[in-house]
Copies of this chain bind each other. A is one copy, B any other.
Amino acid sequence: MQDVTRWLARRVVESRPGDVPAEVLREAGRALLNWCGCAIGGSRHETVDRALAAVLPFAGPAQAGVLGRGERMDILNAALINGISSHVLDFDDTQAEAIHPSSPVFPALLALAEWRGFSGAELAHAFVLGVEVECRIGRSVFPQHYDAGWHITGTAGVFGAAAAAGKLLRLGEQQMAWALGMAATQSAGLREMFGSMCKCLHPGRAAQNGLHAALLAREGFTSSEQGIEAKRGFGHVLSTHFDPEVIVGEWGRHYELSSNMYKPFACGLVVHGAIDGCIQLRNEYGLRPDAIETVELAVAPLVLELTGKPSPLTGLEGKFSVFHAAAVAVVRGEAGEAEFSDACVQDAEVVTLRKRVRATVDDSLQWTQARVAIRLRDGRLLQREVLHPLGSLERPMSDADLEAKFRSLTAGILDKRGADHLLQLCRDLQSLPDAGVIARVAVA
C-alpha cells in the first residue's frame, strides 16, 4: 500500500453516515456517555485548575465551554482543557493497543459543535471516523512505537482529532491529506510523563493540534501529502516498525469502536485484573486488612513496567502502582476516583497493607490478567485467577454499568436533573439537531 495518507483522506472524505452500521453508531453514544462522565469528573482536579490558570489570560472568544465548569473560551483552548480533564482520572475508554480513543477526538468535535451547531448524527459519524483513523495508525506501529516510549494516545490521537474535525468541517480530499500531514508533524507525547500532570496534556494537545490542523488545512495551509508513510514521515521516524496494511485492511468491515473498552476502575486496564481479583476475594471472604499477612500478585511483564511504583506519594502516582491498586481494592473494595486521591494514597491503613503486597512477573499472563494470592495471618491461602477482568471485551460494562459510572463521576458537580438530561442527550445523540447542547448541559 503506497500513498496511505491520501488513501485515508479519501476514505474519510467519501464516507457517508449511512455507511456506518447502527451498532457502531450506538457504541459512539456509549463512548460519549463514558467520556462526558470522565471529563466532568476530572474537571475539578487541580491539574485542570492549573491548566486553566495558564490558559485563560490568553484565551479567545466564548465559543465553547469546559465540561463540568463554567468557563467559556475559544474552541482550540476548550479542546485542550476538555482533553486534559477527560484523561486526568485515567478513567476514559481504551483499546488493546493502549490508545484512549475518545479523549483526543470528542473535545475537538464537541467544541466545533458548540461553535457551529453540527448535528448529533454528524458528530457521531465524525467520531467513528476519527477513531478509525487514530486506532488504525496506532496499530500500524504497535507495539514497537509504544515500547520505545511514545504515549500512543497523544501520538496517534492527533490524527483522530484532525480527521474527525476535518470531517465536520467538510474538508476535501486534498485538505484532508494536508490535515493528516499536519497531524503527523505534530505527533508527540512521551511515556516518561506518566505519573505527572503532563500525561493528560497529551490527549489535550492532540485534540487542540488536530483541530488546528483541520482549520489550517481548510484555509489552504499545505503540508506533505505523504505525512504518514514517507521515509521521513510518522511511520518510519516514530517507529522501527510500520505496516500500512494495518491502516487499510478491513476498512468499512471492521470498526475500531467494536473493540472499545470502558474501565470500571480509575486506572489503567493493566491493573484491572489485580483489582478485580482482590475485590472478589475481599467480598467473598469478608477480608479485613489486619487479618492479612501478604498479598501476592502474578502479573504480565507490562504491568510492572507501567505500574511498578512501590511507594506512590500522590493520587496520580497511585494510578501507576499495582501495589497501591491491590491494597486499596482489599481495604475499600472499590477502585474509583476516590481510591486514587492523594489522601487515599497516603492513608495509613492503605500504606500498611501496600507494604505487604508483592508482585512477580508471569510471562504466560496477558496484560490485563492477574493471579491473586492472599495469605492470611491464620495460615489460610486464598487464591483467584482473573483471565477476563470487568471492563475487558469478554466482560464489557453494560449500559447500566456505564450509567452508574457516569452518575458516580458527575455526582457533586451536576445536579440530578442535569445528569439525567445529559444521560438522555447521549442516548439520543443520533437525533440531536444540534450536538452543541451536550456541552452546554454538561456545565455545572
Q: Taking beta carbons and an 8 Å cutoff, which residues of A are in contact with B?
A: 47, 50-51, 53-54, 57-61, 63, 74-77, 148-151, 154, 178, 181-182, 184-193, 195-198, 201-202, 205, 209, 212, 215-216, 218-224, 226-227, 230-234, 236-237
Contact = CB atoms under 8 A, between A and B. Distances in A.
A322 to B, nearest CB: 18
A80 to B, nearest CB: 9
A6 to B, nearest CB: 14
Contacts of A178: 198
A112 to B, nearest CB: 11
A13 to B, nearest CB: 19
A307 to B, nearest CB: 14
A61 B63 CA distance: 14
Contacts of A185: 151, 154, 188-190, 192-193, 198, 201-202
B58 A221 contact: no
A76 B60 CA distance: 11
Given A60-B60, A148-B232, A190-B233, 6 more contacts: A50-B219, A50-B220, A54-B215, A58-B76, A182-B201, A186-B189
Nearest to A190: B185
A147 to B, nearest CB: 10
A244 to B, nearest CB: 15
Closest 3 CB pairs of A and B: A149-B232, A198-B223, A58-B74
Contacts of A51: 216, 219, 221
Given A50-B216, A237-B149, A187 B188 contact: yes
Contacts of A193: 181, 185, 223-224, 227
Contacts of A61: 57-58
Nearest to A147: B232
Stoichiometry, as copies per complex, reads 2
A224 B192 contact: yes
Contact of A222 (B188, B197, B219): B197
Contact of A50 (B191, B205, B221, B224): B221
A226 B227 CA distance: 30
Contacts of A57: 60-61, 74
Contacts of A237: 148-150, 190, 192
Contacts of A196: 181, 222-224
A182 B204 CA distance: 13
Nearest to A53: B219
Contact of A232 (B188, B191, B220): B191
B148 A221 contact: no
Contact of A182 (B58, B149, B198): B198
A54 B148 contact: no
A47 B198 contact: no
Nearest to A59: B60
Contacts of A221: 47, 50-51, 54, 197-198, 201
B58 A58 contact: no
A50 B148 CA distance: 36
29 contacts: A47-B221, A50-B220, A51-B221, A57-B61, A57-B74, A58-B63, A58-B215, A60-B60, A149-B231, A149-B237, A154-B185, A181-B192, A181-B198, A182-B201, A184-B190, A185-B190, A185-B193, A185-B201, A186-B189, A188-B188, A190-B234, A192-B227, A193-B224, A196-B222, A196-B224, A197-B221, A198-B221, A198-B223, A205-B209
B58 A60 contact: yes
Contacts of A186: 188-189, 205
B60 A216 contact: no
Nearest to A195: B224
A328 B197 CA distance: 52
Contacts of A231: 149, 192
Contacts of A154: 185
A51 B223 CA distance: 12
Given A50-B220, A216-B50, A222-B197, A190 B232 contact: yes
Contacts of A187: 188
A302 to B, nearest CB: 14
